Amino acid sequence: MASMRFYLFFGFSLYSCIFAAKPESYAALFSFGDSLADTGNTLLSLNGGSSPTGRLPYGETFFHRPTGRFSNGRLVVDFFAQALGVPLLPPYLSTLDGGDDFSKGVNFAVGGATALDSSYFISKGFEQHWTNYSLGVQLEWFHQLLPSLCKPYSDCKEFMKKSMFLVGEIGGNDCNFAFFQGKSTEEVKAFVPSIINTIMKAASEFINEGVETLVIPGNLPIGCSTAYLTMFQTQDKQEYDPDTGCLKRFNDFAIYYNSKLQDAIQVMRQKFPHATTIYADYYNAALRFFKSPEAFGLAKETVHSACCGVGDRYNFNFNRMCGTSGVTACSDPASYISWDGMHLTETAYKFITASLLSGEFTDPPLRLSDHPCPEPDFHIHGCLSSI
């Protein structure tokens, strides 16, 4: 009963945190990235083709219908939009039918997107089976749309100055695809500089357009991912972190990647001192779920399992994924971290967003409200729970 009271208290706390933000703080929100932020571009890009995200149980929790999001409900970008007081971001590809209002922001993220162009991977001998909508393509979309957002066009820099840009998470798929094709840690580390340089180049272009607030997230603890735990499971107990049950070598890689990203962000700050470039620590914000799941109202026994899936140890199978025939979702997604083995549940995204909005896991601290979220009398700090 005590844990339930804790969970409900945090529910009220996050609700207050998200909706305490001043709507006038930012005029618009723009998002770039992959499936962690995609609000429908993948689905729209298929022109009527099939995608699991176009079918239930995707979207069942909040929207009660599939929206093209790779989750059962809202994503980090959705909670950011609510915090800023702007509508949930329409996907860029919906501009083709002219049915959405883009004056408050647009989402350019596409599921499967990489930071590097597909040509880079092909030149390195990779089998290229994922989307071609890289960060470079998303950047082109932004430049194509920009003149229509500012009327007259001369006002664009002022509009950009009042907007927030979420640049990522992007770059994670560059590493995921390499690991899943059997590349070693050292091989993947070799092209981390190219990934980060691509992200920083995009950020520089945004700043040159007038943007003064950018949030650049790091990688999640991929060694805790259901997909990684399934593909690389081993009987060697030394491979696992005893505190989290996650694969140490992949989390160590994520730490390495994030350190290089933070170094690059520091250089960006020196180059563009008038802009605020914020690092969002997805890694540590999420790692706590695996260290202390009960503190977040999550089920310890299913901390590494997918809610929607089939399989043995982790309820995940690459050949029978969520959204395909015969694959069902759990009855209580709010008690799970992983939604479909590759992506998180709405609950997990809420916790991550709340910890970012509190300023605890952003550098410099990101505080969108004059009234900070209440800190509970507990070892977890900040505004951290479900609505």
d(CA 175, CA 199) in angstroms, rounded, equals 14
d(CA 328, CA 259) in angstroms, rounded, equals 38
Q: Could you say which DSSP state residue 375 is in?
A: P
Q: Is 99 exposed, middle or buried (0-12, 13-18, 19+ CB in 10 A)?
A: exposed
Q: In what order do the strands lie in the sheet with 105-107?
A: 105-107, 28-32, 163-167, 213-217, 276-280, 362-363
Cβ pair 170, 111 in contact under 8 A = no
The tokens describing 219, both together, are 């990688």
- In 201-340, which ranges are E strands? 213-217, 276-280
Cβ pair 57, 73 in contact under 8 A = no
- What number of residues does the chain have? 387
Cβ pair 175, 181 in contact under 8 A = no
User: Where in the sequence numbering do the catalytic residues fall?
Assistant: 35, 340, 343
Which distant-in-sequence residues (6+ apart) come within 8 Å of 264 by Cβ? 196, 197, 199, 200
